[in-house]
Amino acid sequence: MTDQNSTQDNILIVAGGKGLRMGESIPKQFLPIGNKPILMHTIERFHRFHSGLHIILVLPESQKAYWAELCETYQFKIPHTIASGGTTRFHSVLNGLSHIHNTQGITGVHDGVRPFVSQSTIGNCFAKAREFGAAIPTIPLIDSIRELTETSSLSRPRNNYQLVQTPQVYKTLWLKEAYKQAYKEIFTDDASVVEAAGHEVSLAEGNPENIKITSPFDMIVAQALAEKENF
């Protein structure tokens, strides 16, 4: 058991996809890119960043046995705790947080299907969260954007907006306290939950390759990135 007076940093990796948009019978996080399933690449990124991170993998109950088979098949040995997924991402994170008992460090939350997060993005987020309490990675918009109204649409200056990625990293105490709130539909990510609890969220530099793989097109991009990075 972890000494409550020591500092423990954590990463929750949330993997609740069913593969519906991908058109596959296998959930997207288990699809292979390069030499192993997407989810294993994602976990490796954080283990490479800091081998002492407490890794908590949040999976639907129905996928746990298959994950265990994959770990055996690929001889995947990186230590991690398994938590059960919930009905929404909010509830999945809440379940993952129940496995964290030491609140002295910081905790990140990352999408299981973002295997191309860079070491610098992870480092930026953890460093800023340690300094300011909350940090999320973002990248600038490239395309023009429009806001939909009831009858039309309006042009909006893209420089006023950023695309949000993960890992989103927070003081563990802040995150656990924020997730004591009742669920609301506006909670689309952890930053929205933490902001609703009264905390300001800092922005850190993300990396464009840190895509969320959710569609067949994303898989084409992912295979190209995997080839470039020698996955």
**Alpha helices per DSSP H over 27-88:** 38-49, 64-73
Tens of pLDDT, residue by residue over 63-84, are: 999 999 999 999 999 999 999 9
CATH superfamily of 10-221: Spore Coat Polysaccharide Biosynthesis Protein SpsA; Chain A (3.90.550.10)
pLDDT along the chain (231 residues), means of 10: 72 78 74 95 98 97 96 98 96 97 97 98 98 98 95 96 98 98 96 98 98 95 93 83
Tokens for 223? 């295979």
DSSP state of 150: S
Pairing of strands 10-14, 106-111: parallel
What pLDDT does residue 112 have? 97
**Residue 22 contacts residue 214 (beta carbons within 8 Å):** yes
Cα–Cα distance measured from residue 57 to residue 70, given in angstroms and rounded to the nearest whole number: 14
Bridge partners of 12, per DSSP, are 56, 109
What pLDDT does residue 204 have? 98
> For the whole model, what pTM was predicted?
0.94
What pLDDT does residue 22 have? 53
> Tokens 């990135």 appear where?
225
